[in-house]
Structure formats: structure tokens, C-alpha cells
């Protein structure tokens, strides 16, 4: 437990009982989210992500465990305190959940009703919020007149109406095209930076996590199977599922697919090895390839290369065919490892040999 944690889940279990069936949706999950984090929770459908985040504002009461938000025990709260605490936890969803019969301004104004602000103050607040999400001109339009990305911006403005400290985003970009997704993620990042908003981002797409999160937890079958800061998870994933998510996000699996399909043309034998090289930070591919040739007369043919910048840290991925004498190949391999590069031999039949 860190002292900066704004959300602390301790050994949370959620078990549903449905028509004689028991569904353990969340199992023994402990999670600390620090103030200012953009914490990604990634997993396939049914992994328990939505159930887990609904525990944070007690939309879902856990079967057991503790939930502390802002130092307060959410599970022990009386209704009035819970209502107050919930105003500090905004939420956005995949399908926006806007009220279609009300204007954009009215949608954003809705959470302010019954609060302390006067009519004029509310009007000013709504105008500010719409400006914040770049939709000032749409104030008098109706949701049906907006694009998906614009609707999500309205939902974000509404979620921010009561100046929350936490924003929970439950698959908020899943219904959007890639360009709009990027714009919404950028907006979330901006709000995180400008307002100090803590964001919990639920998604089945590691691409979204890669864009803006500083931390990530991977969920499978109700459990968090791996977690850590973004760069560490991307550079040293331990679990197969995490690796799969990352390979999809970095598009390396598509590249490998193509390479494997043409494997015969690579003429792999004792003198050739198909390898994946992964490196973090300043190392670059060009000097490495030159060095392997100078030292061991190993020729490297690059089939795929990609550098991601994660949290300002470059993360490189290369797929190369190394050609040379077998013992020289071994030495080249060792040289890469000593240089802090992760080397994985790839077998075109898809089985990887470390
Ligand atoms: N109210 C409920 N009653 C019974 N079972 C439920 C209920 N809500 C969720 N579940 C079950 O709990 C498990 C986790 O569901 P959850 O919606 O949390 O997963 P998810 O990772 O968010 O997936 P998705 O992205 O598809 O919503 C699933 O097996 C689901 O069927």
C-alpha cells in the first residue's frame, strides 16, 4: 500500500448468484491506484473489469473485501455520504448514456441539479465544461446531431460537472473509430494533466493503454494476473495473455503472421536463425547490426522493425534473420543478451524458443 493511493481495493471478491449458478466475477483483487495515475485495466470480455470498477463507487457491493477511496471506507458509508462521495467519481461508458430528449447543455447540466450552484453559476459551469471538451458550439444541439466522438466528449463534460478527482472510463472508446479513439484518449490525458484527474481506464485494447496509461493491470477470469508500470509490462511481460495483448498492440503479431507464411523463402537452416530482438531505452538497431557483423561476421536481415515511445521511453522490436557460422551465431546471440537486449528465437511453426 502506498500513501498516495486514492483508490485502494483490498482482497475484493464479487460473486454473483444467478438461478442456482455461482459466478465468481472478481477474485481476491487488491489494487492501489495513486493520485494522478492513468491506470489501465485490460482484459477480454467477461474477465471481470466492469464489475471490478463498479466496486469503486459501490455501484457493485463486493461479496467481501475493502474499498477505500480518498481515505474513506466506501462500504461503510451511509446513503447520504455515499451520494456525496460518488460526485467525486465520474464515469463514462461505451454507449455514452446521454439523454436524447435533452440538449447537450442540459445533459451536462443534469448532475448539477440539486447542488449548491445558482442558475447563473450552473450556466457558467456548463459553458466552461463544454469549452473544456471543445464543444461550445454544440450547446443547443441534441445528442442525435453529434458524432460518436462528440457524444463521448459530452459524456466526459457531464462526468466532470461536479469536479471529480477520479474518472472511470469503462470501454469509452470501444465504439469509436481509431482516429476518434486517439482524440478522446488525448483529451483524457490532457484532463489528467491539467486537472490532476486520476483515471481508471477499462479496456480490451492494449493500444488504448499504450497511448496514455502509466500503469496497467491485466485481468483474466476475475483475477489480476499481472500489473506494473507501462514500460516494464511492455518490455518484460511475464504472462502469455499479457504478451498476446502487447503483440496485438504493437502489431507484431500481424508482422509475424506474414513472416511465418513466407517462412520457406527464408531458407532457415543451421546457418540462419529467425529471431526477435526487444530493447528498451537508447539502444538503436543500426549500431547493433553493424556490431554483430564486425565482431562475428553475422549478417542480419531486418524483416520487421518498430519503435514505440511509451511514457517517453523508446521500446524497440526487431525481427531479423541472422546468418553466419553456428558458433558465431551463438556468440552474437550472447552479445545481444549482454547488451540488455531480449532475444527470442522464432520458429515459423509458431512455437517460440527462448
Ligand atoms: N449482475 C450480474 N449477474 C450475474 N453475473 C454477472 C453480473 N454481472 C456480471 N456478471 C458476470 O461476471 C463476469 C464478469 O463480467 P464483467 O462485465 O465484469 O466482465 P468485463 O471484463 O467487464 O467484460 P465486458 O467488457 O464484456 O463487460 C461475467 O462472467 C459476467 O457474465
* pLDDT band (50, 70, 90) for residue 285: low
Pocket test for ligand 1, best of 12, 15, 23 (most atoms within 8 A of CB): 23
46 lines ligand 1 (CB under 6 A): yes
**How many whole angstroms from 86 Cα to the centroid of ligand 1?**
22
- Of the listed ranges 64-73, 166-175, 246-255, the one predicted with least confidence: 246-255
348 or 307: whose pLDDT is higher? 307
Atom nearest to 17 CA in ligand 1: 4
Domains contained in the chain, CATH given: 5-238 (3.40.50.300), 252-353 (3.30.70.260)
**How many whole angstroms from 329 Cα to the centroid of ligand 1?**
49
pLDDT above 70 covers a percentage of the chain that reads: 96
Count CB atoms within 10 A of the CB of residue 31. Answer: 22
**Residue whose CA lies nearest to ligand 1 atom number 31:** 46
- pLDDT at position 281: 76
- Alpha carbons 158 and 179: distance in angstroms, whole number: 22
Pocket test for ligand 1, best of 15, 16, 56, 245 (most atoms within 8 A of CB): 16
51 lines ligand 1 (CB under 6 A): yes
Confirm whether pTM is higher than 0.90: no
* pLDDT band (50, 70, 90) for residue 349: low
3-state per-residue secondary structure call for 105-123: HHHHHHHHCCCCCCHHHHH
- Alpha carbons 224 and 166: distance in angstroms, whole number: 21
- Alpha carbons 259 and 318: distance in angstroms, whole number: 12
Antiparallel, parallel or unpaired: β 166-170 and 89-93: parallel
**Residue whose CA lies nearest to ligand 1 atom number 30:** 46
What 3-state DSSP class applies to 62?
coil
What 3-state DSSP class applies to 153?
helix
Mean per-residue pLDDT of the chain: 91
- Of the listed ranges 107-111, 133-137, 264-268, the one predicted with least confidence: 264-268
Nearest Cα residue to 345 out of 325, 324, 321: 321
* pLDDT band (50, 70, 90) for residue 351: very low
Nearest Cα residue to 176 out of 215, 141, 150: 150
Q: What would the mean pLDDT of 101-130 be, rounded to a whole number?
A: 95
Pocket test for ligand 1, best of 22, 46, 241 (most atoms within 8 A of CB): 46
- DSSP code for 102: S
Residue 257 has pLDDT above 90, yes or no: no
- pLDDT at position 352: 47
**How many whole angstroms from 25 Cα to the centroid of ligand 1?**
6
- Alpha carbons 339 and 335: distance in angstroms, whole number: 6
Atom nearest to 18 CA in ligand 1: 4
99 lines ligand 1 (CB under 6 A): no
- pLDDT at position 353: 44
Atom nearest to 202 CA in ligand 1: 22
pLDDT in tens, 140-151: 999 999 999 999
Sheet holding 5-18, edge to edge: 21-34, 5-18, 64-69, 72-73
Q: Which residues contact 173 (CB under 8 A, 6 or more apart)?
A: 152, 180, 181, 184, 185, 203, 205, 208
Atom nearest to 222 CA in ligand 1: 14
Amino acid at each position: 500500500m502506498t500513501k498516495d493511493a486514492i483508490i485502494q481495493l483490498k482482497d475484493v471478491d464479487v460473486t454473483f448468484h444467478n438461478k442456482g449458478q455461482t459466478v465468481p466475477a472478481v477474485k481476491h483483487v487488491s489494487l492501489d491506484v495513486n493520485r494522478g495515475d492513468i491506470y489501465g485495466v485490460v482484459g477480454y470480455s467477461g474477465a471481470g473489469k466492469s464489475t471490478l470498477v463498479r466496486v469503486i463507487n459501490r455501484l457493485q457491493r463486493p461479496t467481501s473485501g475493502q474499498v477505500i477511496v480518498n481515505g474513506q471506507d466506501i462500504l461503510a458509508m451511509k446513503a447520504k455520504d455515499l451520494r456525496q462521495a460518488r460526485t467525486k467519481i465520474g464515469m463514462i461508458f461505451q454507449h455514452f448514456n446521454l439523454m436524447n430528449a435533452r440538449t447537450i447543455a442540459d445533459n451536462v447540466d443534469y448532475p448539477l441539479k440539486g447542488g449548491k450552484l445558482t442558475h447563473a453559476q450552473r450556466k457558467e459551469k456548463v459553458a466552461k465544461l463544454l469549452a473544456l471538451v471543445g464543444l461550445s458550439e454544440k450547446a443547443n444541439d441534441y445528442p442525435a446531431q453529434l458524432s460518436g466522438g462528440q457524444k463521448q466528449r459530452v459524456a466526459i463534460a457531464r462526468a466532470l460537472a461536479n469536479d471529480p478527482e477520479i474518472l472511470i472510463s469503462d470501454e469509452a472508446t470501444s465504439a469509436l473509430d481509431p482516429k476518434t479513439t486517439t482524440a478522446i484518449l488525448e483529451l483524457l490525458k490532457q484532463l489528467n494533466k491539467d486537472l490532476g484527474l486520476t483515471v481508471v481506464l477499462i479496456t480490451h485494447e492494449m493500444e488504448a493503454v499504450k497511448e496514455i496509461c502509466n500503469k496497467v493491470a491485466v485481468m483474466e477470469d476475475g483475477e489480476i494476473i499481472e500489473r506494473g508500470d507501462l514500460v516494464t509490462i511492455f518490455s518484460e511481460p511475464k504472462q502469455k495473455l499479457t504478451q498476446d495483448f502487447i503483440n496485438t498492440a504493437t502489431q507484431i503479431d500481424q508482422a509475424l503472421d506474414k513472416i511465418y507464411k513466407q517462412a520457406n523463402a527464408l531458407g532457415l537452416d543451421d546457418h540462419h536463425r529467425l529471431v526477435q530482438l526487444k530493447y528498451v531505452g537508447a539502444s538503436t538497431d543500426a549500431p547493433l547490426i553493424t556490431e554483430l557483423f564486425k565482431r562475428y561476421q553475422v549478417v542480419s536481415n531486418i524483416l520487421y522493425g518498430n519503435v514505440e515511445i511509451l511514457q517517453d521511453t523508446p521500446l524497440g522490436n526487431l525481427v531479423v534473420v541472422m546468418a553466419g557460422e553456428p558458433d558465431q551465431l551463438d556468440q552474437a546471440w550472447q552479445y545481444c543478451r549482454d547488451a540488455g537486449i531480449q532475444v527470442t528465437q522464432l520458429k515459423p511453426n509458431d512455437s517460440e524458443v527462448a
